Structures are given as structure tokens and as C-alpha cells.
Amino acid sequence: MRIILNTLARSFRDPSGNRRQVISGITADIAAGALVVVTGPSGAGKTTFFNLVSGLLLPDSGTITAAGTELTKLSERDRDQWRAKEVGYIFQTFNLLADLSILDNVVLPHILIGNGAREELEKRAIESLAALGVGDHLRKYPHQLSVGEQQRVAVGRALLLSPRLVIADEPTANLDDASARIVADTILALRGRSTILLASHDGRFAVAKPDLTIALGGEVNHA
């Protein structure tokens, strides 16, 4: 999925009522299948940037065009539908539902938005979770899994249908080395098929030589 960002800007009001500019003038042409690393210190706006590109937020100014669709012209409902079909978002928090089994956590969101029949989704989920090393936990609940295992489940849910756009916000943060390696390898395996935008301090992604680096508060650097 090719993504064109044109002079994106976004600000928020701080607790004192003053406007704080978080994203300012970001312009980039991201090729389909590219690996893009977003950098910047804590508070630089990486999560805000991801929420803009995924359509969760609208910019104050500028445009976002994804595979020919200008997200900034869509209604909130249409953006939600677009994101459900096109985006696999790996959040910093796992967002697993405590009352659902691991298998249901992965497949039910896709069933609810019409991404396929349960039987086929469960088959794919079982294969995906096995590849992520959590295939023995399908009937367990999130609280019965370690932090690393929960993150791998969240990755399996986000990447279940090989979305055209993958957004990963610190996907390996706070994971042990074994879990981090599995998560990083799974994300990088989609390069070329999915466009990948990620923020991470994990050296595995730097070694992968990203096609583009977007430094918030800085320059956009092509490989």
C-alpha cells in the first residue's frame, strides 16, 4: 500500500489550555511494501503519528492518501471500515479482552467486521498462533499468559489476514529476548507484501535496513 503524507500537522490542548504542536509539516511518499521506522524521543508524537496514518485521528491540516484513498475526506465510519479491512495495528498495550479465550481474542474482531467466516479464521489463527509459539494456549485466557505470550497473541490478531498496512508501536518493548525475536521476525517477514510503519528501539529492525526513516521533529530520510 502506497501512502502519501502531505504536510501533516496535529496539535492538542495541554492541561493549562494551551495548544501544543505534536506533529508539524510531515511530508513523505511511502512506497508499497516499504519498511518505515519512525523515530523521536518520548513525547515526540510517534503514537499520534500512527493514529493519524491509521485514520484514528484526523490532522489539523494536511492530507493522508493510502492506496489512492484520501483518508482525510472520509467520514469517521468510513475510516473505521477502511482501517478494519486494511490495517493491522499492534499497540503498545495488548488490548486483549479478559473474558475471551486466546483464540476468540484473535478471531472475533475479524468476524464482527466481516473479514471472513469463523471456520476459516480459526484455521488461520491456529496456524498463526502456532508459528508465534503460543499455539498451546488457544483455550486459555489472557491472565494465564506471560507478558511476552500476550504480545504474541496481539501480533497474531493484528497480522492474521496479512493486512496491506502494518503499524507497530514499540512491538517488542518489555519483552524477553526470545519473545522479541519471534515478534520482530514475524513483522519483518511481511516486508514487501505489507507496508510496515513501526517505532522501536529494537536493534533487529535497524539491522533490517529500513527503506525510510521518519524522525519526528527532524527529516525524512530515504535509504
- pLDDT digit string (tens) for 200-212? 888 888 888 899 9
Cα–Cα distances in Å, from 80 out to 76, 189, 202?
A: 6, 26, 30
As to burial, measured by CB atoms within 10 angstroms (0-12 exposed, 13-18 middle, 19+ buried), residue 84 is: middle
Q: Which residue, among 62, 23, 25, 27, has the nearest Cα to 45 in the 3D structure?
A: 23
155 exposure class (CB count in 10 Å sphere: 0-12, 13-18, 19+): buried
What tens digit of pLDDT does each residue of 116-163 get?
889 999 999 999 999 999 999 999 999 999 988 998 999 999 999 889
pTM of the complete model beyond 0.75: yes
CA distances from 50 to 6, 132, 144, 169, 179 (A): 15, 24, 30, 8, 23
Q: Which residues contact residue 83 at a Cβ distance below 8 angstroms, ignoring those fewer than 6 apart?
A: 54, 55, 56, 89
pLDDT, one tens digit per residue, over 47-65 is: 999 999 999 999 999 999 9
- Give the Cα separation of 47 and 135 in Å (integer): 30
**Fold designation for 3-222:** Rossmann fold (3.40.50)
Q: Is the separation of the CB atoms in 180 and 204 below 8 Å?
A: yes
Q: How confident is the model at residue 221 (pLDDT cuts 50, 70, 90)?
A: low
Chain position carrying cell 471456520: 119
Report residue 220's pLDDT band, with 50, 70 and 90 as the boundaries.
low
Domain boundaries, the chain: 3-222
Residue whose C-alpha is closest to residue 11's, from 38, 45, 41: 45
Whether the pLDDT of residue 223 is over 80: the answer is no
